[in-house]
Structure 1
Amino acid sequence: MPIKIPDQLPAIDILKNENIFIMHESRASTQEIRPLKVLILNLMPKKIETETHFLRLLSNSPLQIDIELLRIDNRPSRNTPEEHLNMFYRQFELVQDRNFDGLIITGAPLGLVEFEDVVYWKHLETIIRWAKTHVTSTMYVCWAAQAGLNLLYGLKKQTLKEKLSGVYTHSIANSFHPLLRGFDDSFLAPHSRYANFPVDFIQDNTDLDILVTSDEAGVYLAASPDKRHVFVTGHPEYDATTLHNEYIRDLGEGLEPPIPVRYYPNDNPDNPPSASWRSHGHLLFSNWLNYCVYQQTPYDLEHFSEDKFTKDD
């Protein structure tokens, strides 16, 4: 089944060229199918690029997905045209009275900023608290994972001295968890963050099921026992060239970034990189949609039971 996204969204042409089945809003309105309602809170500066990354992964499912895009506030963007934001993004106030099957909160380039100094921190806290009673399952990606751990579990910010950047080997810690159906025992995934997610720190201070770890990168994937909160500390959505673009950007800003680990052939930035994580990225999102969202959510979102999701909070 296709993903349903707004007409004229730039990602449409890119995904069509990749033979991904896209359904416009106008066509979807004629079908008598209950699609999954998935909200994406896009915190990344280059929103059009990030939209395409996540829509590509959400498309790899037999389920029909109805996507809505959410912006954190109405501040002007330096990296995304205002007309794009006005046309395709909603303010939280317009969706706060509705229920959703899934919510994805993207990463943000805020690794060295203290939470209390993030200009939209209070607004993000409101959205994460709201999701506990209005969303069946929420996925927190990279910086959002650290923010979610702070707001939901009270975990303090853990910051590395040097940016963790590159492609790392990961091992499965719980091979029977539904999120890991079909995963190899070890696999590759990219990271690009200053946040630190030590295994012992997560294990000792939360009730999360730790599902995937890396000797170098720490916890990669963890989920609450009821699968309503899923934390992904890396970037399975990245294109082959995303780490390269970030590396060049950081060089241009005089940050002296380390060369991304095991990313460029022969560790030479002049050599074009290739994606070695794509299959597991698609599988992770398919499993999330199936086991954490579709099999948990009510058929009629108007009958969303707050008691079901608040009794253990």
Structure 2
Amino acid sequence: MPIKIPDQLPATDVLLHENIFVMHESRASTQEIRPLKVLILNLMPKKIETETQFLRLLSNSPLQVDVELLRIDNRPSRNTPEEHLDTFYRQFEMVKDRYFDGLIITGAPLGLVAFEDVVYWQHLESIIQWARDHVTSTLYVCWAVQAGLNILYGLPKLTRKEKLSGVYTHSLQKDFHPLIRGFDDSFLAPHSRYADFPVEYIRENTSLDILATSEDAGMYLATSPDKRHVFVTGHPEYDAFTLHGEYIRDLGEGLEPTIPVNYYQNDNPDNQPIASWRSHGHLLFSNWLNYCVYQQTPYDLEHFSEDKFTKDD
């Protein structure tokens, strides 16, 4: 089944070029099926690039997914045309009275910023709390994991001394969980963060099921027992050249970044990057849509009730 997106969204041309099955709203409106309604709260500066990356992964499913894009506030963007935001993005006030099957909260370049200094922190907290009563399953990515662990579990912000950047090997920690169905025992995934996620600390201070970890990167994938909160500390959505772009940007800003680990051929930034995580990324999002969203959500979202889920407080 295709992913359903607005007719004129820039990601359409990119996805069609990659032979990804997308369906325009005008065609999808004639089908008599119940699509999954997924909201993406895009916190990244380059919104078009980020939305394309997530839409690519959401499309790899037999389910029809009706995607809506959400912005955190109405501040002007330096990296995305205002016309694009006005056309394709919703304000939270426009959706807060509705229910959704899934919510994705992206990362944000706020690794060294204290929570209380994040300009939209209170608004983000309101959205995460709202989702507990209005969304079947929420997927938190990278910085959003830190935010979610703080808001839902009261965990403080933990920061690494040096930025974690590169493609790291991960190992499975739990057998037969549906979210990791089909995963190899070890797999690769990219990271780009200052946030620290120590495995034992999180295990001791939350009730999360920790599904995958890395010796270098710490916790990678975890979920609440009821699968309503899923945490991914890396960036399985990244394109082949995303880490390269960040590395070149940091070089240009005089930050003297380390070369992303296990990313370039022969670890030489003059060589082409190697995208070694695509299959894992597609499988992760397909499993999330199927087992955490589709298999859990009510057919009639207006009958959504937190009581149908096992609470994880």
Give TM-score, length-normalised by structure 2.
0.99
Native 8 Å contact 1:132 1:310 kept in 2:
no
**Structure 1 residue aligned with 2:68:** 68
Q: Does 1:4 align with 2:18?
A: no
Q: Does 1:201 align with 2:224?
A: no
**Structure 2 residue aligned with 1:44:** 44
2:181 partner letter: R
Native 8 Å contact 2:210 2:223 kept in 1:
yes
Distance 1:201 1:157 in 2: 12
Other structure's SS at 1:69 match: strand
**Structure 1 residue aligned with 2:307:** 307
1:292 partner letter: C
What is the CA-CA distance between 1:306 and the residue it aligns to?
3.0
Call closer, same or farther: CA 1:72–1:310 in 2, change over 3 Å: farther
**Structure 1 residue aligned with 2:227:** 227
After superposition, the C-alpha distances for 1:117-168 in whole angstroms (9 at most, x for unaligned) are 0000000000000000000000000000010000000000000011000000
1:101 partner letter: D
Native 8 Å contact 2:259 2:269 kept in 1:
yes
Distance 1:209 1:19 in 2: 36
Native 8 Å contact 1:132 1:309 kept in 2:
no
Distance 1:100 1:187 in 2: 31
Q: Does 1:154 align with 2:154?
A: yes
**Structure 1 residue aligned with 2:178:** 178
Native 8 Å contact 2:224 2:312 kept in 1:
no
Native 8 Å contact 2:183 2:280 kept in 1:
yes
Other structure's SS at 2:240 match: coil
Distance 2:128 2:77 in 1: 23
What is the CA-CA distance between 1:308 and the residue it aligns to?
2.6
**Structure 2 residue aligned with 1:27:** 27
What is the CA-CA distance between 1:227 and the residue it aligns to?
0.2
Q: Structure 2: where are the runs of 5+ without partners?
A: none
Other structure's SS at 1:74 match: coil
**Structure 1 residue aligned with 2:56:** 56
Distance 1:311 1:283 in 2: 26
Q: Once superposed, what is the RMSD of the aligned Cα atoms?
A: 0.9
Native 8 Å contact 1:4 1:24 kept in 2:
yes
Distance 2:20 2:302 in 1: 30
**Structure 2 residue aligned with 1:101:** 101
After superposition, the C-alpha distances for 1:42-67 in whole angstroms (9 at most, x for unaligned) are 00000000011000000000000000
Q: Once the two structures are aligned, what percentage of the paired residues are identical?
A: 85
1:97 partner letter: D
**Structure 2 residue aligned with 1:118:** 118
2:104 partner letter: I
Where has structure 1 moved over 6 Å in runs of 4 or more?
A: none
Native 8 Å contact 2:42 2:72 kept in 1:
yes
**Structure 2 residue aligned with 1:141:** 141
Distance 1:92 1:310 in 2: 26
1:32 partner letter: E
Distance 1:207 1:239 in 2: 32
Native 8 Å contact 1:133 1:309 kept in 2:
no
Call closer, same or farther: CA 1:311–1:285 in 2, change over 3 Å: closer
Q: How many residues align?
A: 313
Distance 1:84 1:216 in 2: 38
Native 8 Å contact 1:133 1:310 kept in 2:
no
After superposition, the C-alpha distances for 1:204-256 in whole angstroms (9 at most, x for unaligned) are 10000000000000000000000000000000000110000000011111111
